[in-house]
Structure 1
Amino acid sequence: MSLSFNHWWRQLRFRLENKEDWNDILDDVFLLHTKLIDDVPLFYAAKKNSVGCINNLLRYASTNIFERGGLGETALHIAVMNDNLEAAVALMDGAPELINEPMTSELFQGVTPLHIAVINQNISLVQHLISRGADVSTPRATGLYFKKRKGGLLYYGEHILSFAACTGNEDIISTLIDAGASTRVQDYKGNTVLHVLVLQPNSLTACQTFDLFMSRDAELDHSVPLDKKPNLRGLTPFKLAAKRGNVVVFQHLVNKRRVFQGSLGPLTSNLYDLTEIDSWADNKSVLEVVVSSQRREARRILEVTPVRELVSLKWNLYGKHYFRFLLFVYLLYICIFTACCLSRPLKDIPANYPRPNTIYSFNTIYVQKRFNESYVTYGDHVRMGGEIISVVGAVAMILLEIPDILRVGAKRYFGQTALGGPFHVILIIYAGFVVLLCVFRVCEVQEEMSVMAVCLVLGWCNVMFFARGFEMFGPYVIMIQKMIFEDLLKFMWLLIIVIIGYATAVWTHYMTQDPLSVPDYTSLPVMFFSEFVLDTTFINLPIDETVPTPPIVYIVHVSFTLFSSVLLTNVLVVMMNDTMSRVGQERDELWRTQVVATTLMIERRLPRRLWPRLGICGLNNGPKDHWFLSVQTMEQIAGDRYCTYSRTAGQGH
């Protein structure tokens, strides 16, 4: 049995490391577990709740009470798993050493009988275990089954109290706390029981349990409230709810911090605490967390009061005006750079100028001036002023991007469309090339034209970034980004594979022909480009009809047209239509997310005196360092429905 188990365990570890399906793995785990239970008398008696057999077996010295099953479990684990109270009590009385014994397999490492009794919500077993000395604080379930990981089935934290929190059983929670379980325990990710509650699927139960823990923790009079305790990523339960898009828990926590001002008929006025929500005094606020989250559910947090009202105030009072001023400055800057490029210093080509051995060089009539000839006239000095502005502006762009990259992280900063990721890449590449242009000019490098062309394309394409300042255009810019980096990228991979196959097939004929007979097929690289252009229908079939051509060439070209131009192009159209439909459904969410991301960007880059803090200081309404936003809501009955209207009274200080 030992040999077969070791062989099975090696296979299981291999499957775990290769991230195979959890359901299949667990089926095999519990199948072997059942087989091993039936082979061990003490295990079988515990499973069948046979108290007499257990007592008889414990009398024999040959009985190994610490014998382990396939999952590293003892007989007491098996009794508790099957909710066999009598068998568990008999084992606890006859072998009290088993009470705090954890499971030892890599899958269920650290699980004690009390863990199992709690998760099964067996209050009787919980009480019996605690009365007989079960440890309620120290044991930690650290096995792979309980890790927070992609593809994992559950995440209950590690401590017994966090297991109880996930069940929502108030009697068990109170029993554990009364027995000495700490409400401040944290797992390997730094998550407290409140963090674990936020991650549970049953949000309503989580809210009720949340209140229970807060009330019990308040009795202990800690300096820092439990809901303000962050995990290792710096997220409090409130911020974690925002990141995960758990609207129910987030709204519940917001309402707990709400201060009722008064009501007048259908009009109700409330003060909402902006602590952890407003980004003015918190570098990792709810707004930051939501924008940087990759979950669509997180964007729904922006529709919750008072987040919606705060975002609207920030944008309408300051954000959109600053952003449109930046648009004006950038347009002025890129126009200056374009004028400098169009008026770059050129002179007639000298008679003895060495021409490169290329076709296009024979049409060249102007060449770049030397550095000492480029800044002589008044017009040259004016252009030099524009060039200085261009270089200084490029350096400033790079310096402004660095703090945001370090704060958000390069992967999220450049990878998320809501943050303008592709445009930040474009901006940094553009700025780097402008600095390179300055080096080329000083060193008199003649190839500055190529770098200048790239700069002009990138610089003007970056103007689309400012479309996010307008509700009409903002979502369409994200649509373009998604089409380029999702649909078009997939299409290009398919097209490249097809072109390689067809281009090499045609080249097998033209590699034996005169290169000048068909200029579009002079070499294999040129043929690749010609096939790509042919696929995009920019040119006709590049075949000289006066020269005999094998039928196979026509067959290859016809099949290429049908497969690539017809089939693949229609696949691209379908993918783009799907993207348009999806973005259209998320239009309002994307617009609001863009507004938040843009507001945060401007807020971080502007001096504080240009961006007053919004809200009302909590001197008379709560803690002195808390700020509140006053929101008025009005409900009136329209037919058989209630219509709710809200208005925000925000003040800047």
Structure 2
Amino acid sequence: MHVTMDIDKTRRPKEEFFKAAHLNDTNSMKALLMSEDFDPCIRGDLEETILHTALFNGNKEIAEFILDRIPALIDEPITSDKYRGETPMHIAVLKQDMEMVKELLNRGADVITSRATGSCFVPGEDCQCYYGEFVLSFAACIGNEEIVRTLIKHNAPLDARDSLGNTVLHLLVLQEEASHAYSMYDLIMSLMTEKQQPSLDCITNNDGYTPLKLAVAEGQMEMFNHLLEKQKKPYWRMGTVSYCTYDLTSIDTWEDQKSVLDIITKSKDTKVHKFIDTKPVKELVEQKWISFANKYFFMWMVSYSLYIMIFTVASLHRPLKPVPYGVFGLHVVKIQKTLAESYQTKEDYVRLVGELITVVGALIILISELIFLSKIGLKNYLANTSNGGPYPLLLICYSLLIIAAVVMRLLSEDEEAFPMSFALIIGWCNTIYFARGFKTLGKFSILIQKILFGDLMHWCSLVFICIIGFTFAFYILFVTLDLTDYPYFRNFAMTLRTTFELMMGLLDIPLPYDKPTPSNVFVIYILYMLFVYLLLLNLLIAMMDDSYWRIIPEAELLWKVQFAAVILLLEQRVPAFLKVRSGIPGSSLGFDDDKWVEEILPETEGDTSAPIQRHYNVKWNRVRKNLGKIIKMKESAESTIL
């Protein structure tokens, strides 16, 4: 007699294995592992192995017995979407179980390629801890120095990059607890070889950020200062006074279009804007302004002002000719001359010179803006108020209006004044952009932009809806009356204009009081004045007042960011042979590398809000010469003694 059995039924239920692991039941686990029906590929609800469960519960004896029995599980990762890639070594590091870390390493655990890429470990909605996927990054973010030393000793890669391109140094910058991040950063830098040290902190992630740049982009002021202190080199010291240099490699935009300065000026985060007042960023901006930007900015401002004046004068003297009264309407006494009639006298040719300057200037503006737009992309072109805000778009609109006016002039169209008038408005309003070069005016420019494109735009959207609704209401009431007695409501367009004027308080309701008017009209009028004229207008005033007091505390900081953005804009658009690089070569100061550095004069202690010094270069050149004399005297004295 033969008995047949299903093989699956002979195997132990997986619940028994994981129950023994959860309860740290060593005897039961050993018995289960020694049984003949044990399945080594058994997985839990999260697709974890029994080794993962044993390590998570801190049972070293069970974990070692599992490794002895099934050594292949040592690098077996969890396969569920949430915890995909997490190996036993990751769990041992997270538990800070040094003994188990050493045990796994002695048994040949992989610390080079193992990566935890589940949604729990990658930034996103399900992320619970972003520690960089690699085992070394986990250990560094946890802050266990002993484990970090051990992993590096066993060749854990320092330059390994996760799916976002971040190395272990990037991960330390992102940690909220800065206390252990500083010491861990210094520890890793001290454990690097001479070949690794110059390049590791220069590795960029997928966003193009080095650890220093990432600290700026994330608003980590303390970490930024800490990293700068690591790069700072003393140039000369006398007692408590020292003159230091800062590496400009990642800070200056000369050879790096994604530098610290660029990040600060393009960000919308106030925390990032605060970096504009830090060393050596503040001094670098000042050097750029003094060395080349100031003169080109004022040349740009003066030339644009003259250009707009020429355009205005040419517009005021555009070619017109008188016409007989009543030919083109009762109110038209002059019309546009034809193209042949426009250029006959000496005055016409003088005006032609101004018109040609206007057209050529508009074409230059349009071409340069389109080239710049294609270079940086539409998103960055219109990014925020720091990089230009509405002004670049206004320049393009201005150029297109000038081109439209030229086409109408060539076609002898009478409506040339329409695009010309809008071009005059935009052209003169764009002069507000140059307020950025002046501290007091720059603050008002910021307020105008914030209120205009914030409160006013939202308020206008609400008012437009209300006006449309009341316009239809008025039109329906008057359409049944004799409209010759009510000319201000004779059609929908005229009714819309009248409603708008009523909202602005420019007129009273235009009704003939000698003729009867339906009472419904007065009811709608009273409701309209209460809701739109009183409520919404006062709401706008309250919103603008609130915005003023909200913006004014940070207006100076925003102005400094805009000031820096103007300098960078000039640096991008001025030809290379006209620009001067900020800082000096490190080799000229006796350093071994070829990096450019920024020299910082000592400041009065606590003087963090001092205004920008306008004689910065002059003072530093004088100090440098004196220091050079002192150093030469010292060297000559030492050589004489020897």
CA deviation string 1:107-130 (max 9, x = no partner): 332222322332332323322333
1:629 aligns with 2:577: no
> Counterpart in 1 of 2:175?
200
- After superposing the two structures, state which structure 1 stretch, 577-586 or 336-345, moved more: 577-586
CA distance in 1, matches of 2:45, 2:507: 69
1:112 aligns with 2:112: no
Q: What amino acid does structure 1 have at the position aligned with 2:508? A: N
Deviation at 1:636, TM superposition (A): 6.5
Equivalent of residue 466 in structure 2, options 491, 494, 498: 498
Change in CA separation of 1:227 and 1:348 when aligned onto 2, cut-off 3 Å = same
Please tell me whether the aligned partners of residues 266 and 383 of structure 2 are also in contact (alpha carbons under 8 angstroms).
no
Deviation at 1:426, TM superposition (A): 0.6
Equivalent of residue 589 in structure 1, options 533, 557, 564: 557
CA deviation string 1:233-278 (max 9, x = no partner): 3222122222222111211121111111233344321122222212
Equivalent of residue 560 in structure 1, options 515, 521, 528: 528
Change in CA separation of 1:64 and 1:469 when aligned onto 2, cut-off 3 Å = same
Q: What amino acid does structure 1 have at the position aligned with 2:107? A: R
CA deviation string 1:357-390 (max 9, x = no partner): xxxx542222212212211111111111111111
Percent identity reads 37
CA distance in 2, matches of 1:420, 1:170: 47
> Counterpart in 2 of 1:96?
71
- After superposing the two structures, state which structure 1 stretch, 299-308 or 39-48, moved more: 39-48
Equivalent of residue 512 in structure 1, options 480, 483, 500: 480
Change in CA separation of 1:333 and 1:125 when aligned onto 2, cut-off 3 Å = same
Change in CA separation of 1:176 and 1:63 when aligned onto 2, cut-off 3 Å = same
CA deviation string 1:307-353 (max 9, x = no partner): 11111222244323321221111110001111111111112337997
Q: What amino acid does structure 2 have at the position aligned with 1:524? A: F
Deviation at 1:223, TM superposition (A): 8.9
Pairs within 5 Å for 1:165-176: 165-176=140-151
Change in CA separation of 1:594 and 1:634 when aligned onto 2, cut-off 3 Å = closer
CA distance in 2, matches of 1:67, 1:481: 64
CA distance in 2, matches of 1:517, 1:88: 98
Deviation at 1:464, TM superposition (A): 0.4
Which structure has the greater CA radius of gyration? Answer: 2
CA distance in 1, matches of 2:505, 2:200: 65
Deviation at 1:150, TM superposition (A): 7.4
Pairs within 5 Å for 1:72-471: 72-149=47-124, 153-219=128-194, 221-222=195-196, 225-349=199-323, 362-471=330-439
DSSP 3-state at the match of 2:399: helix
Please tell me whether the aligned partners of residues 136 and 176 of structure 1 are also in contact (alpha carbons under 8 angstroms).
yes
Deviation at 1:63, TM superposition (A): 4.7
CA distance in 2, matches of 1:589, 1:79: 55
Deviation at 1:579, TM superposition (A): 2.0
CA distance in 2, matches of 1:48, 1:403: 68
CA distance in 1, matches of 2:551, 2:312: 34
Deviation at 1:302, TM superposition (A): 1.4
Please tell me whether the aligned partners of residues 313 and 650 of structure 1 are also in contact (alpha carbons under 8 angstroms).
no
1:576 aligns with 2:552: no
Please tell me whether the aligned partners of residues 629 and 650 of structure 1 are also in contact (alpha carbons under 8 angstroms).
no
CA distance in 1, matches of 2:480, 2:100: 87
DSSP 3-state at the match of 1:383: helix
Equivalent of residue 22 in structure 2, options 32, 44, 47: 47
Deviation at 1:443, TM superposition (A): 2.7
> Where does the alignment leave 5 or more consecutive residues of structure 2 unmatched?
1-12, 625-642
> Counterpart in 1 of 2:445?
477
Deviation at 1:160, TM superposition (A): 2.0
CA distance in 2, matches of 1:461, 1:48: 75
Please tell me whether the aligned partners of residues 601 and 620 of structure 2 are also in contact (alpha carbons under 8 angstroms).
no
DSSP 3-state at the match of 2:600: strand
CA distance in 1, matches of 2:82, 2:510: 64
CA distance in 2, matches of 1:92, 1:540: 92
CA deviation string 1:588-626 (max 9, x = no partner): 311211111011111222233433223232114324521
Please tell me whether the aligned partners of residues 291 and 580 of structure 2 are also in contact (alpha carbons under 8 angstroms).
no
CA deviation string 1:264-299 (max 9, x = no partner): 344321122222212233332211121112221111
CA distance in 1, matches of 2:18, 2:65: 13
DSSP 3-state at the match of 2:75: coil
Please tell me whether the aligned partners of residues 266 and 635 of structure 1 are also in contact (alpha carbons under 8 angstroms).
no
> Where does the alignment leave 5 or more consecutive residues of structure 1 unmatched?
1-37, 356-360
CA distance in 2, matches of 1:229, 1:284: 13
> Counterpart in 1 of 2:6?
none
Alignment size in residue pairs: 605
Deviation at 1:224, TM superposition (A): 5.6
Deviation at 1:417, TM superposition (A): 0.5
Change in CA separation of 1:636 and 1:464 when aligned onto 2, cut-off 3 Å = closer
Change in CA separation of 1:339 and 1:52 when aligned onto 2, cut-off 3 Å = same
Please tell me whether the aligned partners of residues 503 and 529 of structure 2 are also in contact (alpha carbons under 8 angstroms).
yes
DSSP 3-state at the match of 2:201: helix
Please tell me whether the aligned partners of residues 14 and 44 of structure 2 are also in contact (alpha carbons under 8 angstroms).
no
Change in CA separation of 1:156 and 1:330 when aligned onto 2, cut-off 3 Å = same
CA distance in 2, matches of 1:517, 1:84: 97
CA distance in 2, matches of 1:79, 1:528: 77
CA distance in 1, matches of 2:109, 2:538: 66
CA distance in 1, matches of 2:261, 2:125: 25
Change in CA separation of 1:336 and 1:61 when aligned onto 2, cut-off 3 Å = farther
Deviation at 1:547, TM superposition (A): 4.2
Q: What amino acid does structure 2 have at the position aligned with 1:56? A: A
Q: What amino acid does structure 1 have at the position aligned with 2:439? A: E
DSSP 3-state at the match of 1:538: coil
Q: What amino acid does structure 2 have at the position aligned with 1:57? A: L
Please tell me whether the aligned partners of residues 434 and 455 of structure 1 are also in contact (alpha carbons under 8 angstroms).
yes
Q: What amino acid does structure 2 have at the position aligned with 1:50? A: D
CA distance in 2, matches of 1:541, 1:483: 31
CA distance in 2, matches of 1:200, 1:404: 37
Deviation at 1:399, TM superposition (A): 2.7
Provide the TM-score with structure 1 as the length reference.
0.85
CA RMSD of aligned residues (A): 3.0
CA deviation string 1:205-228 (max 9, x = no partner): 222222222223335x24961011
Change in CA separation of 1:394 and 1:59 when aligned onto 2, cut-off 3 Å = same
Q: What amino acid does structure 1 have at the position aligned with 2:300? A: L
